[in-house]
Structure 1
Amino acid sequence: MKEILREIGMIARALDSISNIEFKEFDLTKGQYLYLVRICENPGIIQEKLAEMIKVDRTTAARAIKKLEIQGFIEKRDDNFNKKIKKLYSTEKGETIYPFLKREGDYSNKVALSGLSKEETDLLHNLLCRVRKNVEVNWDFVKKGNKRDY
C-alpha cells in the first residue's frame, strides 16, 4: 500500500513550518494562525466547534485561544441567551492581519496545486474530503476514550 498519509503529513508539516516562520513577525506561532483564520471566517464560533473544525483536543484549543486573547487578536463575548457560552471574535488587531493570512493561504494553495488541471484539483479535493471523513470516524471514537482495534 502506498504511504499516502506520510505524504499528507509531510505536506502539512512543511506548510505549517513555512507559516510559522512567515507569521513570526505578527507574533503568531505554533499554528495560532489556524485559529485566528477560522475565528475571522466564523465570527461568534464557540471554542468546542473551533477545536472540532481544526481537529485538536479542547485543551490544545483552549491554550491557543487564551494566548490569542492575551495577545489581543481575539476576544470572548458572552452569548445573549446562555451566559456559560463564550463566543469568539477577532479584534481589530486580528482583522488587520487576516488579509495577510488569507493571502498566504491562497498562495500556498496555488503553489501546492500548480501543474494540476481543474479536473485533477477537483478530484483531489473530493478524495481528500472522503479520506478526512473516514479518519473523523476514528478521531471521534478515540476522542471519546475508546481504543481502536488494529
Structure 2
Amino acid sequence: MAEILREIGMIARALDSISNIEFKELELTKGQYLYLVRICENPGIIQEQLLDLIKVDRSTATRALQKLESNGFIEKRNDPDNKKIKKIYPTEKARQAYPFIIRENEHSNTVALEGFTVQEALEAERYLRRIRENIEVDFESVKKGHKRDY
C-alpha cells in the first residue's frame, strides 16, 4: 500500500515548522496563522464553522482563539440576534498580518509544485481533495464518539 499519509504528514509538519519560525515576528505561534487566515477570510465566523474549516477539536481551537484574542489579533462579539452566539472578527493587527501569511502560502505552493505542469498540479489538488473528503467521513464519526472499524 502506498504511504501517502506519511508523505502528507511530513509535508504538513515541515510547512508548519517553517511557518511557525517565519511568523514568530508577527507574534503568531503553533499554527495560529491557520485560524487567522480563515477569520480574515470569513469575518463574523462562529467557532463551530471555524472548527469545520480547519478540522480541529473544540479544546484546541478554544486555546488558540484565546491566545489570538489576548494578543490582539481577533475580537469576539455577541450576535445581535442571539446573545449565546459569539462571532469572531479580525482586528487591524490581523488584517495587517494577513497579506504576509498569504504571500508565504503562495511561496510554499510554488516551491511544492516546482517542476509540475499545470495539469499535474490540478490533478494533485483533485486527488488531495478526494483524500480529504474520504478522511472527513471518519473525522466526523470519531468526533461524535464512534469507533472506527479496523
Q: TM-score range by the shorter chain?
A: over 0.9
Aligned equivalents of 2:9, 2:132: Cα separation in 1: 13
Aligned-pair CA distance for 1:139 = 0.3
**1:101 alignment partner in structure 2:** 101
Aligned residues: percent identity? Answer: 67
Q: Could you state the TM-score of these two structures normalised by the residue count of structure 2? A: 0.98
Q: Secondary structure at the match of 2:88?
A: strand
Map of 1:53 onto structure 2: 53
CA–CA separation in structure 2 for the residues paired with 1:115 and 1:47: 38
Aligned equivalent of 1:34? 34
Following superposition, the deviation at residue 78 of structure 1 comes to 1.1
Partners of 2:118 and 2:31 in 1: CA distance? 29
1:43 is matched with: 43
Question: Secondary structure in 2 aligned to 1:28?
Answer: coil
Deviation of residue 114 (structure 1)? 1.0
2:75 partner SS: strand
Q: Distance in 2 between matches of 1:106 and 1:81?
A: 38
Equivalent residue number for residue 21 of structure 1 = 21
Question: 1:108: how far off?
Answer: 0.6
- Note the aligned Cα RMSD (angstroms): 0.6
Gap runs ≥5 in structure 1: none
For structure 2, list consecutive stretches of 5 or more residues without a partner in the other structure: none
CA distance in 2, matches of 1:26, 1:4: 33
Q: TM-score, normalised by structure 1?
A: 0.98
Q: After the TM superposition, which parts of structure 1 deviate over 6 Å for at least 4 consecutive aligned residues?
A: none
Deviation at 1:80, TM superposition (A): 1.9
1:115 deviates by 0.8
Q: Give the structure 2 partner of residue 146 of structure 1.
A: 146
- 1:51 deviates by 1.1
Distance in structure 2 (CA, Å) of the matches to 1:111 and 1:46: 33
Letter in 1 for 2:145: G
Amino acid at match of 1:22: E
